[in-house]
A and B are shown apart, each in its own frame.
Chain A
């Protein structure tokens, strides 16, 4: 459904997207993840033909995306990060207008179904300028699904929603996927993508770092533990020793307290205790501080990106 070949975009000599090879199969809900500024939105803008790529090719729904291939756009539904609506129009006027643009058969019924699904049926005669951000976000879904698209491209689709709204939208996406729609979800929220997507691609600094199924991603993010240790004296002198230990991935020293991330392939607590004793320290306490799945998935940070990519390297 979506395939990019060596896709690249350069602004003033700076590569914002670099050699991106994405592959989204028919029926997928594909999570396109990355921290803010990673190149997600630029990639999506290129997929939509809004900005031209400087290199590479894009194939959508089996056809190469060309500037004049307008008919292809009729088969795609889009929800952008920010909702740009005609504020003077009522919801009904707006949807009627887009219904005409996409030449929808029986638009009245379709509009009613979709407004019902997102809980905006009673707000249809309000001007869009009077809608809250959350309402606008939900309304954008209605517009994106109005013409029954084969492919849905969603850029940060739940960014402005409350938990109830998030659930409504999630249910809607799952329902649309169930009836055969392919979905590409771009987000910086791992937790959200986890609940929706089976396959995930992670981008950072314009490069696709990993493309895998959700289970493998989860495993990669949780293959370390954090030990919180309290010693009898200031621990700054331990810094060089800790760097030498292969099972220690990262650490943080604050006075006599240390947070040390250890590999989980075996129990290293005994080895670690011995190291402190060898350097003349006494251990006052030692606790395991495991990163919860929720915690690990909350956001894509540079820290967990490095976790994800370590094994690959």
Chain B
């Protein structure tokens, strides 16, 4: 028994050692048919690809997604345990008819369509819509025209700027000349005005591209690519799982702690509690949100992601506007906060920190833009350490926004040293038990 166990453990150790060595080897490149995906993730679009080893592609129901079969170079990256695609080395569009099947029967054959992803608040806003064919061309042209217009303005700006510098230099020389001549009277010449740069195009549209636009109801499907000679292209078959959200219309919060602007927290589920120890400045951003299955949604964002089928996650859809955020305690409103712009100011010196300040006219005049807009709740250090509530109401009629209430709990830190005393109580019970037995024995 012992020898067998020892043998098994030794074998496992050898395999373990070998696997560590083998994982350090350079990756092997493969040419492979993959699906390039632009999938609607509930709020925007996620870009990913589905390598040959992933059998299933996930989509949200009744939403347009783009799928594009391509030949590329694929290699395994042991650190992330994912396949990577070398699209810059090989990115060949696959020809053929794209078939969608359900229960083994072809339910539709798709042709390639032209599309663009349109970002109304700019590329970094992470909010986008897909437009197809004529609409796609229209939006792309709109973007292209806006960019052309911007470029024209930019050119004008640079010309004005050159002119401004010349005028300004002339102005300075004039001042110098008069001062050298002993003329200390006010200069009655106008100071040249610096031109303002043009605003960049706020929206963004991707290049017009071709792909299969797929929009399916909830269910399980199969997809494949059929070549012109009628054969099914090898490696093109995949399963498709189309799912919907479990709960819709919730209210979630993004919270920016005053001291950690870069590390935002989410308080999405109504059961979640915000714990703080006092003296906090918290910036709340309420969102409308939908709840999706974690595994499905993670796989939608990248088919190689992992997740749990039992777990659910909230996806922020849109910020909720025209509201007030309330801090209450036992129905009493302590603070009612409106949305305001804030600016993150870098602290000079060795500290290299930052502070969040209110965005005001002074900053505006200096040409700064607000870093973010939010609802600021201040937790005073003298607030009793108890439970409070954060909620959202409509600004115009004070009607509560559904599922927006969260508990905010202030923790007590001052007596935390007593935490070391609590574990002693089982020992006291133990000593009592022993003594009671001893006294019974003596009786």
> A125: which B residues are within 8 A, CB to CB?
441-442
Report if A222 contacts B (CB, 8 A). Answer: no
B 404-443 to A, binary, CB cutoff 8 A, 1 in contact else 0: 0000000000000000000000000000000000000110
A286–B301 Cα distance when bound, in Å, is 113
Residues of A within 8 A of B442 (CB): 125
Q: How far is the CA of A272 from the CA of B32 in the complex (A)?
A: 111
Distance, CA A125 to CA B441, complexed state (A): 6
Chain A residues within an 8 Å CB radius of B441: 90, 125
Look across to chain B and name the residue whose beta carbon is closest to the beta carbon of A126: B441
CA A90 to CA B440, docked complex, whole Å: 11
Which B residue sits closest to A127, measured CB to CB?
A: B441
Closest to A125 in B: B441
- In Å, the complex CA distance between A125 and B442 comes to 7
Docked Cα-Cα span, A90 to B441, in Å, equals 8
Bound form: Cα–Cα A151–B441 in Å: 33
CA distance A125 to B440 in the complex (A): 9
User: A90 contacts which chain B residues (CB < 8 A)?
Assistant: 441
What's the nearest-Cβ distance from chain B to residue A52, in Å?
A: 23
Quote the shortest CB–CB distance from A120 to chain B (angstroms): 16
Cβ of A288 to closest chain B Cβ, rounded Å: 61
Write out, one digit per residue, whether chain A residues 174-205 have a CB within 8 A of any chain B CB (1) or not (0): 00000000000000000000000000000000
| B contact face: mostly helix, strand, loop, or mixed | helix
- With A and B bound together, what is the CA distance between A125 and B438 in angstroms? 10
- Inter-chain CA distance A47–B265, complex, in Å, is 73
The complex places the Cα of A90 from the Cα of B438 at a distance, in Å, of 11
A125–B437 CA distance with the chains assembled, in angstroms: 11
Q: Smallest CB-CB separation from B443: which chain A residue?
A: A125
Chain A min CB distance to B430 (Å)? 15
What 1/0 flags go to A94-134 for Cβ under 8 Å of B?
00000000000000000000000000000001000000000
Give the shortest distance, in Å, between B438 (CB) and chain A (any CB): 11
Which B387-406 residues sit within 8 Å CB-CB of chain A?
A: none
- Give the shortest distance, in Å, between A167 (CB) and chain B (any CB): 31
Q: Which residue of B lies closest to A93 (CB)?
A: B441
Shortest CB distance A124–B (Å): 10
- CB A96 to nearest CB in B, in angstroms, measures 12
Closest Cβ of chain A: how far from B392's Cβ, in Å? 63
Say how far B119's CB is from chain A's closest CB, in angstroms: 76
Instruction: Please measure, in the bound complex, the distance between the C-alpha atom of A35 and the C-alpha atom of B442, giving whole angstroms.
Output: 45
Interface residues of A in 53-111 (CB under 8 A from B): 90
Please give the distance in Å from B393's CB to the nearest CB on chain A.
67
Rounded to whole Å, the gap between the CB of B439 and the closest CB of chain A is 12
User: Whole-angstrom distance between the alpha carbons of A90 and B443 in the complex?
Assistant: 12
Of residues 260 through 285 on chain A, the ones whose CB sits less than 8 Å from some CB of chain B are: none
Nearest chain A CB to B33 CB, angstrom units: 65
How far is the CB of A240 from the nearest CB of chain B, in Å? 56
A92 to B, closest residue via Cβ: B441
A255–B442 Cα distance when bound, in Å, is 68
**Shortest Cβ distance from B156 into chain A, in angstroms?**
97
Quote the shortest CB–CB distance from B436 to chain A (angstroms). 14
Q: How far is the CA of A90 from the CA of B442 in the complex (A)?
A: 11
Complexed CA–CA distance, A117 and B442 (Å): 23
Near A by CB (< 8 A), chain B positions 276-328 give none
CA distance A1 to B441 in the complex (A): 40
Query: A124 — nearest CB in chain B belongs to which residue?
Result: B441
B443 to chain A, nearest CB (A): 8
Bound-state CA distance A22–B310 (Å) is 67
Near A by CB (< 8 A), chain B positions 1-53 give none
**Bound complex: CA of A170 vs CA of B25, how far in Å?**
83
- The docked-state distance in angstroms from the alpha carbon of A229 to that of B406 is 112
Least Cβ distance of A215 to chain B in Å? 51
B359 CB to nearest chain A CB (Å) = 75
Expressed in whole angstroms, the minimum distance between the Cβ of A115 and any Cβ of chain B is 16
Min CB distance, B337 to chain A, in Å?
66
Measured in the bound complex, the distance between the Cα atoms of B443 and A125 in whole Å is: 9
A296 to chain B, nearest CB (A): 49
Q: How far is the CB of A127 from chain B (nearest CB, A)?
A: 8
Residues 190-248 of B at the A interface (beta carbon under 8 Å): none
CB distance from A87 to the nearest CB of B (A): 14
In the docked arrangement, what's the CA distance between A195 and B393, Å?
101
Contact string against B for A residues 201-230, beta-carbon threshold 8 Å, 1 for contact and 0 otherwise: 000000000000000000000000000000
Q: Chain A nearest CB: distance from B243 CB in Å?
A: 56
CB distance from B353 to the nearest CB of A (A): 63
* Nearest-Cβ distance from residue A11 to partner chain B, whole angstroms: 20
Q: In whole angstroms, how far apart are the Cα atoms of A80 and B441 in the complex?
A: 28
Q: How far is the CB of B87 from chain A (nearest CB, A)?
A: 71
Find the A residue at minimum CB distance from B442.
A125
Q: Give chain B interface residues in 344-390, CB to chain A under 8 Å.
A: none
What distance in Å separates the Cβ of A92 from its nearest Cβ neighbour in chain B?
8
A244 and B153 alpha carbons, distance in the complex (Å): 141
| Cα distance, A202 to B442, chains bound together (Å) | 48
CB distance from A88 to the nearest CB of B (A): 10
Query: How far, in Å, is A95 (CB) from chain B's closest CB?
Result: 14
Interface string of B143-163 (1 = CB under 8 A from A): 000000000000000000000
Interchain CA distance A181-B441 in the complex, whole Å:
34
| Alpha-carbon gap, A98 to B185, bound state (A) | 120
Question: Restricting to B72-126, which residues have a CB under 8 Å from any CB of A?
Answer: none
Q: Which residue of B lies closest to A90 (CB)?
A: B441
Bound Cα distance from A162 to B441, whole angstroms = 29
Looking at the assembled complex, report how far the CB atom of A258 sits from the nearest CB atom of chain B, in whole angstroms: 57
A125 to chain B, nearest CB (A): 5
Q: Which of A151-166 contact B (CB under 8 A)?
A: none
Report B's interface with A, CB cutoff 8 A.
441-442
A-B contact pairs, 3 of them (CB 8 A): A90-B441, A125-B441, A125-B442
* The 3 residue pairs across chains A and B that have the minimum distance between CB atoms: A125-B441, A90-B441, A125-B442
